[in-house]
Amino acid sequence: KALADSFEAQSDHEIELSFGSTGKHYAQIVHGAPFDLFFAADTLRPSLLEERGIAEWESRLTYAKGRLVLWSPKEGYVDSTGDVLVDGDFRYLSIANPKLAPYGRAAKEVLEQLGLWEKFENRIVRGENIGQAHQFVMSGNAELGFVSYSQILHPDHALEGSYWIVPPELYGPINQQVVAVRDSPAVRDFYKFLRGSQARRIIESYGYELHHDTRNRCWPRSSR
């Protein structure tokens, strides 16, 4: 959203945003939704769109990489190494649904790496998306949970509680991709903007890692 605001500020295009789960929007685009750009939380669905010829070929661009953190609103509850998990002194651990959300998939991988997945199976609550995972923790019903770093860095909220930034080795990358569903001057402008430094600053300030994607650098081809 911040990206959109800033893009609107610097160009004469207007953007209308539609939020929702990646899977839902995927289904909608397949059935003809009038979207120009599709920001997915993963790489699977943009590539599917590309393959099915619904999106512009090779327009996929990984614009950011998410970072997973284990967070609790309680001060000093989560240590900087994640040992609180091993102690298992909690009632509920919140994650996003591994099946639906890349953060969930990542969280599951972390737990599996630590050999805790089986142990906690019945104490893990799954949000539909990373937003709900955050709400479970925020409301105090789950003591801690795997959320995205961007959530606890959110500029609207003071950073509170304690967290552990999970080392990226413990999970596969959470690549966030954008794909162009339709080609238009505005879309092209946006792509240009997205690659620019201002966009990269915003992305970083929201707690994402930048991704150095080379493969998609070619779209849009100027030759078209």
Partner 1 sequence: MTEGDWAALWVTLRLAGLTTLILLTLGTPLAWWLAHTRWRFKFVLEALVALPLVLPPTVLGFYLLIALGPRGMIGGFLESIGGRPLAFTFAGLVVGSVFYSLPFVVQPLQNAFQAMGRRPLEVAATLGASPVDRFFSVIVPIARPGFLTAAVLGFAHTVGEFGVVLMIGGNIPGKTKVLSIAIYDHVDALEYGHAHLLSGGLLALSFLLLIAVFGLNRKFQVVKT
Please give the residue ranges that form the binding site for partner 1 (CB under 8 A): 1, 16-28, 31-35, 44-45, 48, 91-92, 94, 97, 99-100, 121-129, 131-132, 134-136, 139-142, 151, 154, 156-157
CA distance 136 to 121: 16
**Tokens 């950011």 label which residue?**
64
b/e code 84-96 from CB counts within 10 Å (16+ = b)? bbeeeebebbbbb
Q: Is residue 87 within a helix (H) or strand (E), and if so which, with residue range?
A: helix 83-87
State the number of CA atoms in the 13 A half-sphere of 134 facing the CB. 18
Q: Which is nearer to partner 1, 47 or 168 (CB)?
A: 47
CA distance 109 to 98: 9
| Smallest distance, partner 1 to C-beta of residue 153, A | 11
Q: Is residue 82 within 8 Å of residue 5, measured between CB atoms?
A: no
| Smallest distance, partner 1 to C-beta of residue 217, A | 28
| Smallest distance, partner 1 to C-beta of residue 148, A | 10
Task: With H, G, I as helix, E, B as strand and everything else as coil, classify residue 62.
Answer: strand
CA distance 57 to 99: 26
Q: Which is nearer to partner 1, 128 or 213 (CB)?
A: 128
Cβ–Cβ contacts within 10 Å for residue 185, how many? 9
β-pairing verdict for 162-165 and 124-127: unpaired
CA distance 128 to 140: 18
| Smallest distance, partner 1 to C-beta of residue 16, A | 5
| Smallest distance, partner 1 to C-beta of residue 135, A | 6
| Smallest distance, partner 1 to C-beta of residue 202, A | 15
